[in-house]
Chains A and B, each alone.
Chain A
Amino acid sequence: MRAFTDALIITKRQLLQLARVPEVLIFSTIQPVMFVLLFRYVFGGSIATGQPGGYVQLLMPGIFVQTTAFTLAATASGLAEDMTKGLIDRFRSLPISRSALVFGRTLGDGLLNVVVLAVMGLAGYIVGWRPSSGIFKIGLAFIFLLAFGYALSWVGIFAGLAARDARVVQNVSFLITFPLTFLSNAFAPTTGMPRALQYVAEWNPVSTMVAACRELFGLKNQFGATAGSFPSEHPLTMSLIYMVIIVSIFVPLSVRKYTTAAKK
């Protein structure tokens, strides 16, 4: 219980930061909204989907997943900054639970995702996104997205603690998440890719997440590759498995790293 309230105080700190420097919140929502508009109007016209409602229906789940995947970078650079500033040392010298800081941090980044996803959803609606599955499934899709972002922010925690410098972490995380989100079915059909890449794209957690969200939003997952492979047949299950794997590896790893973390 103590650990939980401590974590909430850390989360509150992040919210306070946002209140003190609202620009951060504004820009972290502008970027994904910009992506929505760019993809919708730049590619939207030239990608034939055969989907009622057009490309934007397929695009939105893709962009949602991409944005939540970027949580990794946000968490990592935030933590790396605390690290270089010596704040982690201070927190570690306080009589609080070992997991409070990292737990609180992931919670805060999760909350930020709620706001970002809401704004994006609204932007998507304005440019023609109409999920057709009903309120329950749509809600489930968003919970799924938040869970995915949350799982990845644990990877970010680990990366942030392991890194030497906040800027390096930021760059490296993007270097990983960018190809990961594009080497998928998020923006274009995987069938156009070379065979080997198709295989990667198919098993990519981003693809399974996107496919799962498309299903939950009431679409047939058109960008999935070869029919019959497990991830494209069962995207929801596969995504859940991925999340469980990520969390069960990176939560203990991060908490351990935190307790032994030395200031860089």
Chain B
Amino acid sequence: MAEHLVKTYRKGEVRALDDLSLDVAEGTVLSVLGPNGAGKTTVVRILTTLLAPDSGSASVGGIDVVKHPDKVREIIGLSGQYAAVDETLTGWDNLVMFGRLYHLGKKAAVVRADELLERFSLTDSARRPIKTYSGGMRRRLDLAASLIVQPKVLFLDEPTTGLDPRGRQEMWGVIEELVKGGVTLLLTTQYLDEADQLADEIAVIDHGKVIARGTSDALKRQVGGERLEVVVDQDHITATMEIVAKVSGQQASLDAGLRQISAPVTTGAGALIEVLRNLDSAGIHPLDVALKRPSLDDVFMALTGHVAEEEVVAPAGKRGKK
């Protein structure tokens, strides 16, 4: 989809994209994951023809975004970070207007608007100005507006940033529905759990470069294997540590406060069973046992050396993006 994209701002001082390449297979979901300022929005803006790259090439659905932006616009849908709808108009007004701008006839635009409002559970508030909508409702309407002509490729730029947990859950539900419908989706997010939940593949970007890419599982594996965690009574800590260390083949570590013993394992569930068997024959009853796979937070930490969400998302953070 995108090859060797370079985009600089302020006369080359800021390299927003630094030789970045990406591709999304048809019908799949790619999540572009990165902290604020990593270049996520810039990628989306280039692919949606809003911004021209300084060098490199990009195509959407096989159409070059620089050479034929008009054709690209016909097959994409974009829903941005900031719900881009007319706030003084009602939800219905907005969808009909956008439908008309997508060159649906008057009747078709109205039918489509009603359909989408129904689908995104906005029918009850269809005749209210957007100003009165909650954050989650706005986002849903914004998303609806990007689906008017059933785009081949959908771009969602941080669809849940700034939403409360309930709004996020709702939005996820809506996106999952879409994905089931077979749309090709490029989704940017700074939330690791969001990428984990929604995407087939994840591209981690930082400072305008893709620093890792693969399925969520593959990325986690790349960072390191699983860890076995056992919580036991105070009395059995020493014995348990020995057992865990033996199975793991490596030193076990202890979180004294939680009375939790953990060690890296390579054999997955097999190691778990072995430890449990050994504990059982030693007469130790663990309070809790778990096989932990690394979270994407761990992935990000391991890949970039810094925490993903170190930067505060200020409402005026738009400018920081550039």
Contacts and interface: CB of A to CB of B under 8 A. Distances in A.
Interface string B89-128: 1100100011011110000000000000000000000000
Give the interface SS of chain B, mostly helix, strand, loop or mixed. loop
B73 A93 contact: yes
Contact of B51 (A20, A85, A86, A262): A262
Contact of A17 (B52, B81, B88): B88
A200 B129 CA distance: 47
Given A93-B48, A95-B70, A13 B102 contact: no
Nearest to A13: B97
Nearest to B99: A9
Contact of A20 (B48, B49, B50, B90): B90
A244 interface: no
A92 B84 contact: no
A195 interface: no
Interface residues of A, number: 24
Contact of A262 (B86, B93, B129, B322): B322
A230 B194 CA distance: 69
Give the interface SS of chain A, mostly helix, strand, loop or mixed. helix
Contacts of A13: 86, 89, 93, 97
A260 B76 CA distance: 19
Given A90-B80, A95-B74, A264 B319 contact: yes
Given A90-B145, A92-B50, A95-B74, A9 B101 contact: yes
B101 A85 contact: no
B250 to A, nearest CB: 51
Interface in A206-264: 260, 262-264
Nearest to A96: B101
Nearest to B51: A262
A52 B45 CA distance: 63
A202 B90 CA distance: 48
Contacts of A9: 97, 100-101
A94 B77 CA distance: 8
Contacts of B48: 93
Contacts of B52: 260
Contacts of A85: 82, 84, 87
A143 B13 CA distance: 50
B317 to A, nearest CB: 12
A89 B86 CA distance: 12
Contact of B102 (A16, A86, A94, A260): A94
Nearest to A97: B70
A185 B51 CA distance: 46
Contacts of B306: none
A260 B49 CA distance: 10
Nearest to A24: B88
B78 interface: yes
A144 to B, nearest CB: 31
A87 interface: yes
Contact of A87 (B45, B76, B86): B86
Interface of B: 45, 48-52, 70, 73-74, 76, 78, 80-90, 93, 97-98, 100-103, 129, 145, 318-319, 322
Given A13-B93, A20-B88, 12 more contacts: A6-B101, A12-B97, A13-B89, A16-B93, A16-B97, A85-B82, A85-B87, A87-B85, A89-B84, A90-B85, A91-B101, A96-B101
12 contacts: A16-B97, A17-B86, A86-B80, A86-B83, A87-B86, A90-B80, A90-B145, A91-B101, A93-B48, A93-B76, A94-B102, A260-B52
